[in-house]
Amino acid sequence: RLSSDLTDHSAKRQRIEERTDHGRWRMRDDKGRQSWVYLEDEEAAKEWPQSFVDKYFLGLPVDAPGLPKPTNPLDAVRNGLEFFEKLQLPSGHWGCEYGGPMFLLPCIVIAWYVTKTPIPWYYATEIKNYLFARAHPEDGGWGLHIEGETSVFGTSLNYTVLRIVGVDADHPKMVKARATLHKMGGATHAPHWAKWWLAVMGVAQWDIVNPTPPELWLLPDWVPIAPWRWWIHIRQVFLPMSYLWSKRWQAEETELIRSLRQELFVEDWAKINWASHRNSINPRDNYHPKTWVLNTVNWCLVNIWNPVLRTRAIAKKGEEWAMKLIEMENENTDHADLATVSGPMNTVCLYVRDGPDSYAVRRHRERAHEFLWMKDEGLLANGTNGVQCWDTAFAIQAVMDAGLTEDPRWRSMLLKALEFLDDQQIRENVKDQDKCYRQQRKGGWAFSNKDQGYAVSDCVSEALKSVIILQKTPGFPTLIDDQRIFDAIDTLLTYQNPSGGCSSYEPPRAGTWMEVLNAAEVFGNIMVEYEYPECTTAVVTALSLFRKHWPDHRRKEIDRFIERAVKWIKTAQKPHGGWYGSWGICFTYATMFALESLASIGETYKNSEYARRGCDFLISKQREDGGWSEHYRACETGEYIEHPSGSQVVMTAWAVIALMKADYPNLEHIKSGIKLIMDRQQSNGEWLQEAIEGVFNKSCMISYPNYKFTFTLKALGMFARKYPTETVV
Ligand code: LAN
């Protein structure tokens, strides 16, 4: 019998209950900083009643009465907006769960554990509930993401989380998960990131972790593999990883850690040959097997560099520079950090260097709450500190596409949204931008909020479009003056690559050959920036709109930018006519953007071979019921794959938007898609959650719950405006 359920360092039991009172959770929106608060005190709960938004996300009954049944798409938009308006948060933005990946909660909870950060019982309880709700119904394990197959990555880490939050090893669900983990080879067969976390905990030994030497940061900038050239996410993760790897730091040993050493492995812990398992990996986790180049590099690091050449002085210099870069990241983001992996890792580094009560550690602890999301199933971790600017921009555009921006009914909602984007614009570049290798960002918008402050090409574009649209609508104030709009344009213009396409956070700083050094195993396309039809289109449409209103500002550069960008879009078309999507699933998503790019320069079905092939591709995938439905596996395999559960409302919206952009001549196809979207609308105006919508790094899916509102509304609104005399019902 596996003994311990002692989980905290003072050997007290972590308090954990069956459930919390869902009536006591509240979402706090502090100007776009979101966190979920649990009101233990009854009086406090009375004074701060639950809002519609709280109840909606918690799955509690909401007051959203049935509306008259729409007889045309525009009425369906109105009904949809009636509901969606209720989800707008006090600061003017829309938020939602941004879960999906199953390795994020472990980053936060393990960081809490090793830094001895107390976990309130209501968090512990709801983390347990979420993980139990999301365990695979057959084998009891967890995958890379909520819809994925069970993997060692998901199972070893989430099992660990459950033990940390106080679940007994004898719990039937734990027994089942453990058996599944052992069948897959146990934690010795986990991918690199899991091995790293388990080594930090002291559950595994450092020899099992492939090397991540911080001295790589000392390479001169001209060196082709220098880390500053890597994709922002991987270099921000590599920083803390390299620091703790170099220190071979391990948490204080506890009963729980001793017990996990017995639970997570197949072999007798004391006899495990750690070094021999550096490259052991379960086939299901091995989406991107390490290349022979990386294996050779690792071999040299392990056998020559580390034992023979690596002096303490070099190691120390590397560690210090890595920490300096982490400090700069903390300063630039007020300790929120880029995303949910690097943030918790940085917390541990600061704890190790500066101690438990340092300001940096305390501030990290405070900000970690902004990455958590409470819902009916329990408490989960979001992929970023929210989706604020991104979803708000799409919400505004949906109203615009329906031609309703001047309708006084939506004025206050839109004004609040505009005020939010005004407040969230990034006004300055980061301090010492070049020293910390950051991209120009002044005038831009982040995906989430300005605290995080990483401008992304398409986030800047979508927000800018929304601002221009509203500010040019009679009756709306000019909150963002011309100079600030020009700042955004100046930043956008830095995003084009020599090929003409645009990437996400920065133009690529190295070639895609860098992927040979991808050590993460579980993800593809992670090492450098790539060009994306999605991002490229967003920039093209933003520049086109800007050009209409400010025809003289940097005109030549803008014209040239657009021309080259659309040319690149054409080169990215696949032989079957579709475009591969990197941030939404999958061909349906990117084809929508690509056809919009083509339409922006007047290329549509009737005059463009590219647009025609794009439309024909989409039409060939339309289902009997008029909808579209692509499975996430398409992202992994690069082939269009049908979703077994039938048409999906979000994908159907993407496809009909694409066809409308391209002026597809056979209206029947578009109408049947529109009809499906209308039929799925509930009587109170909402749409229900269906399969997962988003993706990153080819293999990991991520939820965009607001897409079921923003894209459906956009599709219906566009139809109503484009074909005002057509009927669908
Ligand atoms: C995101 C979220 C938004 C997304 C879009 C704006 C939709 C896209 O068009 C550009 C890329 C971007 C900004 C993006 C990049 C990768 C992110 C940050 C994520 C998918 C959210 C989570 C993911 C991040 C990498 C998760 C942590 C995992 C690692 C592999 C470090």
The CB of 456 under 6 Å from ligand 1? The reply is yes
- 668 pLDDT exceeds 90? yes
- 707 pLDDT exceeds 90? yes
CA of 112 from ligand 1 middle (Å) equals 23
If DSSP codes are grouped into helix, strand and coil, which group holds residue 36? strand
- 612 pLDDT exceeds 60? yes
- Closest listed residue to residue 36, CA positions, set 272, 520, 376, 404: 376
Q: What is the pLDDT of residues 195-226, one digit of tens each?
A: 999 999 999 999 999 999 999 999 999 999 99
H/E stretch holding 37 = strand 33-38
Token digits of residue 687: 């749409």
The CB of 441 under 6 Å from ligand 1? The reply is no
Mean pLDDT of the region 515-539:
96
pLDDT score, position 414: 98
pLDDT score, position 235: 97
pLDDT score, position 11: 54
* Reported pTM: 0.96
Strand (E) positions, 108-229?
A: none
pLDDT score, position 6: 38
Residues near 315 by beta carbon (within 8 Å), at least 6 away in sequence = 213, 214, 215, 246
Is residue 458 annotated as a catalytic residue, yes or no? yes
Q: What is the pLDDT of residues 149-160, one digit of tens each?
A: 999 999 999 999
The CB of 535 under 6 Å from ligand 1? The reply is yes
Mean pLDDT of the region 311-325:
97
Percent of the chain with pLDDT over 70: 98
Torsion-angle region of residue 584: left (phi > 0), alpha (psi -120 to 50) or beta?
Answer: beta
Looking at residue 291, the DSSP 8-state letter turns out to be P
The CB of 458 under 6 Å from ligand 1? The reply is yes
Compute the C-alpha angle 580/586/587, nearest 5°. Answer: 55
Per the prediction, the chain carries an average pLDDT of: 96
The CB of 98 under 6 Å from ligand 1? The reply is no
Catalytic residue among 8, 54, 451, 458: 458
Q: What is the pLDDT of residues 2-27, one digit of tens each?
A: 333 334 454 578 999 999 999 999 99
Both ends of the chain: CA-CA distance in Å? 64
Taking the C-alpha atoms of residue 39 and residue 48, their distance in angstroms, rounded to an integer, is 9
- 690 pLDDT exceeds 70? yes
User: From atom 4 of ligand 1, which residue's Cα is the shortest distance away?
Assistant: 583
For a pocket test of ligand 1, which of 237, 457, 583 has the largest count of ligand atoms closer than 8 A to its C-beta? Answer: 583
DSSP 21-75: -GGGEEEEEETTEEEEEE--SHHHHHHSPPPHHHHHHHT--------PPPSSHHH
How many secondary structure helices (H) and strands (E) does the chain include?
26, 6
* Centroid of chain to Cα 176: 30
Percent of the chain with pLDDT over 90: 98
Mean pLDDT of the region 246-268:
97
pLDDT score, position 78: 98
The CB of 163 under 6 Å from ligand 1? The reply is no
Mean pLDDT of the region 311-340:
97
pLDDT score, position 729: 74
Q: What CA–CA distances, in Å, run from 282 to 150, 192, 515, 654?
A: 11, 11, 21, 36
pLDDT score, position 443: 98
* Centroid of chain to Cα 315: 33
Mean pLDDT of the region 604-628:
98
pLDDT score, position 2: 35
Q: What is the pLDDT of residues 43-75, one digit of tens each?
A: 999 999 999 999 999 999 999 999 999 999 999
Q: What is the pLDDT of residues 400-416, one digit of tens each?
A: 999 999 999 999 999 99
CA of 523 from ligand 1 middle (Å) equals 13
Which atom of ligand 1 is found nearest the CA of 390? 6
User: From atom 3 of ligand 1, which residue's Cα is the shortest distance away?
Assistant: 447
